[in-house]
C-alpha cells in the first residue's frame, strides 16, 4: 500500500478549478518529486493533503486512510502528514525560542507529553537536524536561513509523520545551502523511513532527491515515471522544455553548479 495516495484529485477555489484529475502515489520510504511551473497547482495539492485547500473531488489517502472531510478519522489521517513550507523566515514565530516551536510540533502526535520527556525530545530532534540543542532557547533571528529551515524540519518531525510534504523548501535559500537541506532530507528518510512528496519548480533539485517524478502543468499531470528513465527520455514536450532549462547533473558537475539558474 502506498504511504500517500492521491486519486483523481480535483481542487476548486470557489468556482475556479485549479487542479483536476490528479493521481499519484508515494511508495513507503521513497521520495516522489512534483515539478512544474508556478501556478500549476503544486502547492494546492500539498495544502489539500493537510486540509488547507478545498478538495472538490477525488481522494487523498495516508496509509489507506482518507484525509478528506470533517470526520474524526479524516482529521487523524491528516495528522499523519506534515508540511514544510518554502519560507524559513516566516515559518517560525520570531518571538518564540526555537525549542518551543519544535516542542509545539509534538502536539500533532495527539499524545500527552511530560515536561522532561518533551525537553529531551526537542534536544533529540534538534540533534537530528544538526542544530546545536544547547541553542534551543535562542530566537529564530539568531540562526541562518539554512539553520531555520532545518529547525522547521525538526518541528515537522516532532509530529512523527509518516509522510512529509516539502513545498519549495530550498527556494528561499542560497544555492550553497540548498544541498545541505536536501542531503538532510535524504538522511532523515533513510534513518526514519519517511515517505516524502517533494515539490519544486526546479528540476535539478527534484532530480537530485527523487526516486520518481511527476510533471505538472495547468492543474494536471502531464507525465510521470522513475527519475532517470523520465529524464533520459521525456515523452512530453513540456518535460523536455523544463529539462532544457536546467543543466544536467553529471559526474563533472556539482549540485551547486546544476542548481544555479
Ligand atoms: N487560496 C486561494 N484562493 C484562490 N486561488 C488560489 C488560492 N491558492 C492558489 N490559488 C490559485 O491556484 C492556482 C494554483 O496555485 P498553486 O499555488 O497551487 O500553484 P503552484 O504550482 O504551487 O505555484 P507556485 O509555485 O507559484 O506556488 C494559481 O492560479 C493560484 O492563483
Distance 38 CA to ligand 1 centre (A): 8
Angle of helix 145-158 relative to helix 115-128, nearest 10 degrees, comes to: 130
Give which of 87, 210, 194 is closest to 151, Cα–Cα.
Answer: 87
Q: pLDDT by residue (tens digit) across 132-169? A: 999 999 999 999 988 998 999 999 999 999 999 999 88
Reported ipTM: 0.92
Q: Which atom of ligand 1 is found nearest the CA of 11?
A: 12
CA dihedral 188, 86, 205, 45 (to 10 degrees): 90
Look at residue 250 in the predicted model and tell me its pLDDT: 45
Q: What average pLDDT score do residues 174-181 get? A: 83
Q: pLDDT by residue (tens digit) across 87-129? A: 766 778 999 999 999 999 999 898 999 999 999 999 999 999 9
Q: Is residue 63 part of a domain?
A: no
Q: Is residue 111 part of a domain?
A: yes
State how far the alpha carbon of 173 is from the alpha carbons of 67, 256, 260, in Å.
31, 12, 12
Q: Is residue 257 part of a domain?
A: no
Look at residue 239 in the predicted model and tell me its pLDDT: 86
Q: Is residue 150 part of a domain?
A: yes
Supply the pTM of this predicted model: 0.90
The total of structural domains in the chain comes to: 1
Helix (H) or strand (E) holding 153: helix 145-158
Q: Which atom of ligand 1 is found nearest the CA of 168?
A: 25
Q: Is residue 25 part of a domain?
A: no
**Is residue 7 over pLDDT 90?**
yes
Query: From CA 252, how far away is CA 119, in angstroms rounded?
Result: 45
Whose C-alpha lies nearest to ligand 1, atom 29? Answer: 39
Q: Is residue 120 part of a domain?
A: yes
Lining ligand 1 with CB less than 6 A are: 13, 18, 36, 38-44, 201
Residues forming a β-bridge with 9: 22
Q: Is residue 199 part of a domain?
A: no
Q: Is residue 93 part of a domain?
A: yes
Give which of 220, 216, 197 is closest to 11, Cα–Cα.
Answer: 220
Q: Which structural domain, as residue segments, surrounds residue 119? A: 81-160
Q: Which atom of ligand 1 is found nearest the CA of 14?
A: 4
- What residues contact residue 252 under an 8 Å CB cut-off, 6+ apart? none
Q: Are 151 and 126 in contact (CB under 8 A)?
A: yes
How is 160-202 classified by DSSP, letter by letter?
A: --SEEEEESTTTTS-HHHHHHHHHHHHHHHHHH--EEEEEES-
Amino acid at each position: 500500500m502506498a504511504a500517500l495516495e492521491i486519486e483523481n484529485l480535483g481542487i476548486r477555489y470557489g468556482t475556479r478549478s485549479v487542479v483536476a484529475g490528479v493521481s499519484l502515489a508515494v511508495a513507503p520510504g521513497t521520495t516522489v518529486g512534483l515539478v512544474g511551473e508556478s501556478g500549476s497547482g503544486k502547492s494546492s495539492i500539498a495544502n489539500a493533503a493537510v486540509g488547507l485547500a478545498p478538495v472538490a473531488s477525488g481522494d487523498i489517502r495516508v496509509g489507506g486512510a482518507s484525509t478528506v472531510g470533517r470526520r474524526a478519522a479524516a482529521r487523524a489521517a491528516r495528522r499523519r502528514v506534515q508540511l514544510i513550507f518554502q519560507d524559513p523566515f516566516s515559518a517560525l514565530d520570531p518571538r518564540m525560542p526555537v525549542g518551543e516551536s519544535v516542542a509545539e510540533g509534538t502536539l500533532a502526535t495527539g499524545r500527552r507529553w511530560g515536561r522532561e520527556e518533551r525537553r529531551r525530545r526537542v534536544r533529540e530532534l534538534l540533534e537530528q537536524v544538526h542544530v546545536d540543542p544547547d541553542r534551543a532557547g535562542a530566537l529564530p533571528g539568531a540562526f541562518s536561513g539554512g539553520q531555520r529551515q532545518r529547525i522547521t524540519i525538526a518541528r515537522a518531525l516532532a509530529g512523527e509523520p509518516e509522510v512529509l510534504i516539502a513545498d519549495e523548501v530550498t527556494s528561499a535559500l542560497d544555492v550553497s545551502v540548498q544541498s545541505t537541506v536536501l542531503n538532510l532530507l535524504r538522511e532523515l528518510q533513510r534513518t526514519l523511513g519517511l515517505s516524502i512528496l517533494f515539490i519544486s519548480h526546479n528540476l535539478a533539485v527534484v532530480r537530485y532527491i527523487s526516486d520518481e517524478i511527476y510533471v505538472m502543468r495547468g492543474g494536471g499531470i502531464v507525465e510521470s515515471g522513475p527519475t532517470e528513465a523520465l529524464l533520459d527520455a521525456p515523452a512530453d514536450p513540456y518535460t523536455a522544455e523544463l529539462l532544457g532549462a536546467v543543466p544536467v547533473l553529471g559526474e563533472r558537475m556539482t549540485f551547486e553548479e546544476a542548481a544555479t539558474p
